[in-house]
């Protein structure tokens, strides 16, 4: 996390990568590679779920997305580009 903050202060571009090292971009579609429990929710995200129109946030290890009408933050280590 500290390395990310140092890069942000020096205006270096931050590249967000999926579990395979493929760069992710704003609005990309990704697949969930592992069953994930949703905190605060009764449902789980199953392996193979397609997530469309992701939003990149300040942290390169996380992305933001909308699934089923709610906004979730997912770790990129559990995603691969579709």
How far apart CA 12 and CA 14 sit, in angstroms, is 6
Asked if 33 and 80 count as a contact pair (C-beta separation under 8 A), the reply is yes
> Structure pTM?
0.80
Residue 4: count of CB within 10 angstroms of its CB:
14
- pLDDT score at 8: 56
How far apart CA 20 and CA 7 sit, in angstroms, is 22
CA of residue 32 relative to chain centroid, distance: 10
Domains of the chain, by residue range, sit at: 2-81
Q: What is the pLDDT along the chain (82 residues), one digit of tens a residue?
A: 566 656 556 556 789 999 999 999 999 999 999 999 998 877 899 999 999 999 999 899 999 999 988 899 999 999 999 9
Could you tell me which CATH number the domain at 2-81 has? 2.30.30.40
């Amino acid at each position: 996390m500290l390395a990310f903050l140092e890069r942000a202060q020096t205006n270096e571009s931050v590249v967000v990568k999926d579990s395979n090292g493929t760069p992710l971009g704003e609005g990309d579609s990704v697949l969930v590679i592992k069953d994930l429990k949703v905190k605060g929710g009764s449902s789980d995200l199953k392996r193979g779920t397609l997530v469309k129109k992701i939003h990149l946030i300040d942290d390169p290890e996380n992305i933001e997305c909308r699934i089923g009408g709610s906004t979730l933050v997912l770790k990129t280590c559990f995603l691969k580009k579709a």
